[in-house]
Amino acid sequence: MATIDDVARAAGVSISTVSYALSGKRPVAVDTRRRIQAAIDELGYRPNAGARMLAGRRTRIFALTEPLRLDTHAPTHMAFVLATAIAARKVDYDVLLLTDAETTTGMQRVADSALADAVLVLDVAPDDDRVALARRIPVPSVFIGVPDDHDGLVCVDLDFEAATIEAVDRLAALGHRRIGMLGHPEVSYDRSNFPPRVREAFRRRADDHGIAHDFRHTGVGATSTSAVRQGISEMLDAGATAILLHCSDTCHAIALAALDARGLDVPTDISLISVGSSFDTATLTTPIDALPLIPEESCERAVALAMACLDDGRCAPGVHLIPPTYRSHASIAPPPAAARRAG
């Protein structure tokens, strides 16, 4: 490959001018810049990554740690990885993958060897091992998700509480007096950081409105269908006129099928809102209103925060919550007249 010397010679300038023309950190005369660009194009020059890291003390690489646990939902996870990669490229950064056992030892290794400028932490657990590590290593890190102990850390996440509250409020405003919620499988409430936040907000807000509420977990794998069906049945039997969904796409589909099987129409007979889903609820057999978790938003914000750390050293520790957006697909309406009388 051509080096910066080749370019300088071809353009008839010094290497520092080439360097400055590339970085823009110093004004370069227009036609000088043109000659340099021509040389670059002709030679197919690309700055050597290693040399740049060494001289510039910048790797232009983010390390992305992802445990890839067995219970990780692959499609959601992939969406986050992809979103991170795209967000990184927008600021001219690459992404280095740290998986499995390497999530912890790898963070240390990558930080110590200056292989990455910052670490992005995915798939955050409430008691995540990477919290302690993040505090120790010499490079900044940004958590996409909020661990229990997040003192001094930089965290990004959807504002799940706000999303849940908005969902409950909308139903309350329409006159619903009994609402249910279908949550994730029970284990997720220990392993993951956000489901408990949604559950709590749901109960509290419903209480605030004086609305009867009924939260139910869903099952995993083969048990999911029956668990969802049963949950739905019991909620309906108890008189629920609206259901919030905070669970997998499969669970959404099963719920819709169950309602359909009972001959219920959405939203005439029952209102539905999906909270914090990261798939498109508009493409379900019946589109559902949603306050979605958008990987692109979280990841772009995370990258922006990381860049701020690097550029000005302004690391903005704290939990950066992304305000939810309501996407309407006509899946909510006032409760049926019968329920209003009964309620």
Q: What burial class does residue 316 get, using C-beta atoms within 10 Å of its C-beta: 0-12 exposed, 13-18 middle, 19+ buried?
A: exposed
In the complex, least distance from residue 57 CB atom to DNA, rounded to whole angstroms: 7
Does 29 bind a copy of itself (CB under 8 A)? Our answer is no
In the complex, least distance from residue 182 CB atom to a copy of itself, rounded to whole angstroms: 20
Question: Which one of DNA, a copy of itself, none is in contact with 222 (Cβ closer than 5 to 8 A by kind)?
Answer: a copy of itself
Question: Residues with Cβ < 8 Å from 141, sequence gap 6 or more?
Answer: 107, 118, 119, 120, 121, 130, 134, 153, 154
Question: Which one of DNA, a copy of itself, none is in contact with 259 (Cβ closer than 5 to 8 A by kind)?
Answer: none
In the complex, least distance from residue 77 CB atom to a copy of itself, rounded to whole angstroms: 7
DSSP per-residue letters across 117-150? SEEEE-S--TT-THHHHHHHSSS-EEEES--S--
Residue ranges in contact with DNA by CB under 7 A: 1, 3-5, 12-17, 19-20, 22-23, 25-29, 32-33, 45-48, 51-52, 54-57
In the complex, least distance from residue 152 CB atom to a copy of itself, rounded to whole angstroms: 21
> In the complex with a copy of itself, which residue's Cβ is closer, 223 or 325?
223
Question: Which one of DNA, a copy of itself, none is in contact with 44 (Cβ closer than 5 to 8 A by kind)?
Answer: a copy of itself
What the block records as the tokens of 301 is 């914000």
Comparing CA positions, the residue from 288, 293, 237 lying closest to residue 262 is: 237
Max Cα separation, the chain? Answer: 87
In the complex, least distance from residue 61 CB atom to a copy of itself, rounded to whole angstroms: 7
What does DSSP say about strands 154-158 and 141-144: parallel, antiparallel, or unpaired?
A: parallel
How big is the CA angle at 83 (ends 78 and 84), to the nearest 5 degrees?
Answer: 100
Q: Which of 5, 12, 34, 75 binds a copy of itself (CB under 8 A)?
A: 75
In the complex, least distance from residue 102 CB atom to a copy of itself, rounded to whole angstroms: 6
In the complex, least distance from residue 73 CB atom to a copy of itself, rounded to whole angstroms: 9
Considering only 50-58, 155-163, 224-232, 322-330, which stretch makes contact with a copy of itself by CB under 8 A? Answer: 50-58
Q: Which of 52, 209, 229, 327 binds a copy of itself (CB under 8 A)?
A: 52
How far is C-alpha 232 from the chain's CA centre?
28
DSSP state of 283: G
**Hey, is 321 helix, strand or coil?**
strand
Comparing CA positions, the residue from 294, 176, 165, 326 lying closest to residue 243 is: 176
> In the complex with a copy of itself, which residue's Cβ is closer, 8 or 171?
8
Site size toward a copy of itself, by CB under 8 A? 43
Helix (H) or strand (E) holding 181: strand 178-185
Applying CB under 8 A, the residues found at the interface with a copy of itself are 1, 44, 46-54, 59, 61, 64, 68, 72, 74-75, 77-78, 81-82, 85-86, 89, 94-100, 102, 106, 109-110, 112-115, 138, 222, 285
